[in-house]
Amino acid sequence: MSECRCQKLDKPLDAVAMGYRRENCVVVKNRSQRIIRLCSIGHVAEPFDLVLCNPEFPEVAANLNSGHLKIRMRFDDRANITSDL
């Protein structure tokens, strides 16, 4: 499994500006009214938080499928932006 790259952000481009490792990651927004667990380490996204995370983690994938998390930006395997939603 991939390593944790969870980082809370103020704006989607903070992932680039702050120099965070972001290969194959996504920036997501918590659209729910509850705290969502993002990884096995214990990182969470509070309601309406913007977070850089790995979409391969089961917790993230399940919440993306349910619509609780919405992808705002994607990065490819070279950390380049592939979509800005």
Give the full edge-to-edge strand order of the sheet including 69-75.
7-9, 50-53, 26-30, 69-75, 81-84
Q: Model's pTM, two decimal places?
A: 0.91
Mean pLDDT rounded to a whole number for the chain = 93
Enumerate the domain spans of the chain.
7-77
DSSP one-letter code for 76: -
Confidence class for position 65, pLDDT limits 50, 70, 90: very high
Higher pLDDT, 1 or 25: 25
Write the pLDDT tens digit of every residue in 29-46: 999 999 999 998 999 999
65 vs 19: CA distance, rounded Å: 28
